[in-house]
Amino acid sequence: MLICKDLTKSFDKELFSNFNLELKPGEIVAITGPSGCGKTTLLRCICGLEDLDSGDLLLEGRDISTLNAEERGIGLIFQKAVLYPHLNVEGNLRLGNKKGDITNALVEVGMEGFEERRVESLSGGEGQRVSLARALLAKPKVLLLDEPFSSLDEELSRRLVSDVRSILKERKCPAILVTHNKNIAENFADYVISL
Amino acid sequence: MNIKFSNVCAFLAYTLLVILPLWLAVDRLVWVAGFDPSAWISSLENNYISQGVIEFTFYQALISTIVTMAIGLPIAWQLGRYKWPLQSVVKAILTVPFVMPSIVAAMGFLYIVGKAGLDIRVDESTWFATLIIAHAWFNMALIIRFCEPVLSTLDPKLEEQMRLLPAGNTKYGRFRNLWLPLLAPSIAAAACMTFVFSFTSFALVRWITLGDNTLESVMAGVGSSAGIEGYMISRNEIVLGSSMIQFTILLISLFLMSWLQQKRQNLLPQASEVIVKKRNPKGWAIIGIGVLFSLSPLIAVLLASFRIRNTDSSGTNYSWDTSGWEFAFTSSNSISSAWEALFNSLGYAAITLIIAVPLGWILAQTIIDVEKSRPRLARTLDVLTMLPFAISSVMIGLGVMLGMIRIDAEFFYSFWPTPALAHIMITTPFVVRIMLPALRSIEPAYDECAKTLGITKWRRFTEIKLPLLKGSILVATIFTLAMSLGEFGASWVVTRNSDWTTLPVMIDSLRSIPYKNSLTAPAACAVSSVLMGITLILFTWAEKFRSARDGGMF
């Protein structure tokens, strides 16, 4: 279980203050809010890419607030798929887990046979599927998704929302999605909260 | 963001290796000559050694720039606008002069204008023209590298649209309203660089226009007797005056370049699709002459290494054999063997590489690390790393020499790696310039994403950062090696009072031996050919890794 307790962060202005959340195993939550309200920063603070001003983060009973991002066991899928151009699809997946079952991971996200493909040749949706496969290969205790469907067309976005939700539910992987799109939030998450 | 320990160490090392010797040199010269900048400048005109040098330096640099433009622009236009068979080979041939050591070019041009070639060397009035042509040969690559990418990647729709507008329905209209505004910053940047390189020319001036001096060659000439208390004070003033003028001109050029580069970047609207270019058979007249011009001095150097002058009672005749090469590679009482020079050059290049590349890389990383949180500090560090660009190689050589005198002359004159210090000072800023854009091009999300995948710092470095930077590191490595191997000005000053020699210094020494020895000129060309061969290999290798659209001088 992930517990966010009184999380507060401000840059020039206050982004969020005393944010609280209890994410149970296998639960998927969506956080919505207008652009610039601090949704992305909240995810970056939870996974350790940004420091919190105050508050506590407990993951499976352990305080992870002061751990580096790479030690927290929290995965993040960025708004635009981050794929390393010097590696092909398989190379990118191996970064998630050197000994993981790449073929199966690709099958799971509907990208069977894409191992040798260069990442520049992937479409936006394919790129996001590869990012998801890689994030899942790393076996995160919680997966954070930073508007990964927002840059895709409506049809593709709808399909991916449904596919990703099924995969996460199948794996019982808790996840937090941030999005400004209420429809996506409702279709993807078990419940929605506003920031 | 906190400044890391490694960043502080890198800047301390840089200050110690690059800034301190220069500071010590200036301090020493001022200590001997007294602080009077107006006296330094006027001493240039008052001393017969340096009379007319300022005028000559400016004049030849200006004419060189104009002639380089006149030769380089038509070539860049043809190369950029039309399709050529073996395009990359043609481009490589046309740009190779820029990476050639200047002393190799000097040997090539001496052979072309000498008895075996045009036979105009005996006429002193041709020397100036030869110098200008040699400078144009050297710098035309700058025009090509700066202008050709703009011409070859510009979105064709811009020209198509212009054709349909009243302002662009004639060739002149399109030139005036499209090409000229787009090319102007690139042309100006290339002209600026050409002026700087011609202004600080040393080897070509030293060998082609005997008797005429630039500020650079005057400094090199009088520098060996500078820095000694109470001895030839005017020479200290000449060095200070020359370096002050050079520093001012180079600094202005640096600022101008940086401003022009920024304007240039904003004016590069790249076509999104592949541009289909036409062939231009008439253009061969320009490209063909350009290729011939580019290759001539290089072929001349190689030929001259085998051509031996034989003089006996019946007169002078020439034969073709390898005795020049044998002479070069055998040591004599007066001159060391080319093997020794090659060993020294490779050794200095290796030391330079080991220090300059990591140092330049860490300096560039430091600038990027502090850019966001402390932009003013980043700008200061950036300027600091560019400072050696505003100092000529002879001045850097003098810096090392006078710095050595200040610290422990005896030790440094017997310390073999000393000349490498000058090479490190010269190459490190180039490494910083190569690594900065490469490091900037790595998206922060790459590292952040890797962190969220649980990848350790070491793996992030070896599996992500290093492969992404591989091309730039290789270009920096090759460039450092080539620059160090071909470096002449600073090495000439530093090694003058020592037993060490490098390939460029040996070429100079061989050519300086009185002409009655018929093997010295071919031997000088033999060593030049070795240097040329190594540079060509390095250049070809670097071309493979250079980004096609970097448009820079490297």
CB proximity A74 to B under 8 Å: yes
Q: In this model, does residue B63 exceed pLDDT 90?
A: yes
Q: β-strands A191-194, A28-32: how paired?
A: parallel
Q: Is residue B349 part of a domain?
A: no
- Residues B194 and B553: their CA atoms lie apart, in Å, by 11
What distance in Å separates residue A12's CA from the closest CA in chain B? Answer: 14
- Of all residues in chain B, the one with the smallest CA distance to A93 is B453
- For the stretch A35-90, pLDDT in tens is 888 899 999 999 999 999 999 999 999 999 999 998 899 999 998 889 998 899 99
CB contact under 8 A, B463 and A95: yes
Question: Between chains, do A95 and B468 touch, taking CB under 8 Å as contact?
Answer: no
Best of A84, A92, A119 to mutate (most B CBs within 10 Å, chain B): A84
| Domain contains B99 | yes
Q: What is the DSSP letter of B290?
A: H
- State the residue range of the domain holding B281: 54-212+276-306
Both tokens of A43, joined, read: 């995810």
CB < 8 Å to B547, chain A: none
Which residue of chain B is at minimal alpha-carbon distance from A84?
A: B446
Which residue of chain A comes nearest to B457, CA vs CA? A70
pLDDT of A103 reads 93
Contact between chains at A86 and B468 (C-beta distance less than 8 A)? yes
Q: How confident is the model at residue B447 (pLDDT cuts 50, 70, 90)?
A: very high
Tell me the C-alpha distance between B3 and B12, whole Å: 13
The residue length of chain A stands at 195
Chain B residue closest to A134 (CA)? B453
Pair of tokens at residue B94 = 């046309």
Instruction: Return the CATH number at B74.
Output: 1.10.3720.10
CA quadruple A29, A33, A39, A40: dihedral positive or negative? positive
pLDDT value for B273: 60
The whole-number pLDDT of residue B448 equals: 93
- More confident site: A116 or B332: A116
pLDDT at B49 over 60: yes
Contact A82 B467 (CB under 8 A): no
Q: Stretch B397-422: mean pLDDT, rounded?
A: 83
Residue B125 has what pLDDT?
A: 87
Q: Summarize the confidence of residues B69-96 as an average pLDDT.
A: 90
CA distance A79 to chain B (A): 10
* Nearest-CA distance A162 → chain B (Å): 24
> What pLDDT does residue B274 have?
65
CA torsion sign for B326, B332, B335, B338 is positive
Distance CA A33, CA A41 (A): 12
Q: What is the pTM of this model?
A: 0.81
Q: Tell whether A98 is within 8 A of chain B (Cβ).
A: no
Average pLDDT over residues B444-462: 93
Give me the mean pLDDT over the B356-384 stretch: 88
Q: Are A68 and B451 in contact (CB < 8 Å)? A: yes
Whose tokens are 């944010």? That residue is A19
B225 vs B206: CA distance, rounded Å: 18
The answer to whether position B493 is within a domain reads no
**Amino acid B456: pLDDT:** 92
To the nearest whole angstrom, how far is the Cα of B460 from the nearest Cα of chain A?
9
Map tokens 């005996």 to a residue: B122
Would you state the pLDDT for residue B243? 87
Class of domain A2-87+141-194 (CATH, top level): alpha beta
The answer as to whether B252 is a domain residue is no
The two three-digit tokens of residue B61, written as one number: 């640099």
Q: How many beta-carbon pairs below 8 A join chains A and B? A: 57
Answer yes or no: is B371 within a domain.
no
Q: Is the pLDDT of residue B552 over 70?
A: no
Residue A102 — pLDDT band, cuts 50, 70, 90?
Answer: very high
What is the tens place of the pLDDT at every residue in B238-251? 888 888 898 899 88
Q: Which residues of B touch A95 (CB under 8 A)?
A: 450, 453, 455, 463-464
Top mean-pLDDT range of A28-42, A90-104, B347-361: B347-361
Look up residue B508 and give its amino acid: D
Q: Which tokens in the block code for residue A129? A: 């599927």
Q: Is residue B160 part of a domain?
A: yes
* A67 Cβ under 8 Å from any chain B Cβ: no
B394 is a domain residue? no
**Whether pLDDT at B547 is above 60:** no
Mean pLDDT of B108-130: 89
> Is A95 in contact with B456 (Cβ distance < 8 A)?
no
* A105 touches B: beta carbon within 8 Å: no
What order do you get walking across the sheet with A54-59 strand by strand?
A: A14-23, A2-10, A54-59, A62-63
Of the candidates A180, A188, A134, the one whose C-alpha atom is nearest the C-alpha of residue B464 is: A134
Residue among B445, B455, B468 minimizing CB distance to A82: B445
- CA-to-CA separations, B281 to A111, B84, B153, B274, in angstroms, rounded: 50, 9, 21, 22
Residues of B with CB under 8 A from a CB of A: 443, 445-446, 448-457, 463-464, 467-468, 470
Q: State both tokens at B231.
A: 């001895």
| pLDDT score of B281 | 86
A82 touches chain B (CB under 8 A): yes
What is the average per-residue pLDDT within A146-173? 87
Q: How many domains does chain B have?
A: 1
Contact B468 A84 (CB under 8 A): yes
Determine how many CB atoms are found less than 10 A away from the CB of residue B292. Answer: 11
Whether residue B528 contacts residue B104, with contact meaning beta carbons closer than 8 Å, is answered with yes
pLDDT at B2: 61
pLDDT class of B551 with cuts at 50, 70, 90: very low
Q: Please indicate whether, in this complex, the C-beta atoms of B445 and A48 are within 8 angstroms of each other.
A: no
pLDDT value of residue B270: 61
Q: Name residue B406's amino acid.
A: R
Does the beta-carbon distance from A75 to B452 stay under 8 Å?
yes
Percent of chain A's residues with pLDDT above 70 = 100
| Residue B287, pLDDT score | 94
Cα of B350 vs its chain's centroid, Å: 19
The distance from CA B500 to its chain's CA centroid, rounded to whole angstroms, is 23
Which chain B residues touch A98 with a CB distance below 8 Å? none
The amino acid at residue A102 is I
B452:A68 CB<8 A: no
Whole-number mean pLDDT of chain B? 86
Residues 6+ apart with CB under 8 A from B26: B240, B243, B399
Closest-CA distance of chain B to residue A48, Å: 8
Give the nearest chain B residue to A138 (CA atoms).
B453
Shortest CA distance from B466: residue in chain A:
A86
Q: What is the pLDDT of residues B460-503, one digit of tens each?
A: 999 999 999 998 999 899 989 999 999 998 898 888 777 788 99
In chain A, what residues touch B470 (CB-CB under 8 Å)? 86
Contact yes or no for B130/B109 (Cβ under 8 A) = yes
B546 pLDDT tier (thresholds 50, 70, 90):
low
pLDDT of res. B250: 86
The answer to whether the CB atoms of B453 and A48 lie below 8 A apart is: no
Residues 131-160 in A contacting B (C-alpha not used; CB under 8 Å) = 134-135, 138, 140, 144
* pLDDT at B554 (0 to 100): 46
Of A74, A95, A144, the CB nearest to B455: A95
Measure CB to CB from residue B451 to each of A70, A96, A135 and give the nearest one. A70
Per residue in B274-293, pLDDT tens?
677 888 888 899 999 999 99
Residue B457 lies in a domain: no
Q: Do the Cβ atoms of A128 and A77 come closer than 8 Å?
A: yes
**pLDDT, tens digit (0-9, with 9 covering 90-100), for A110-149:** 889 999 999 988 988 899 999 999 998 989 999 999 998 8
Of B416, B360, B409, give the one whose Cα is nearest residue B388: B360
Q: Does A75 touch chain B (CB under 8 A)?
A: yes
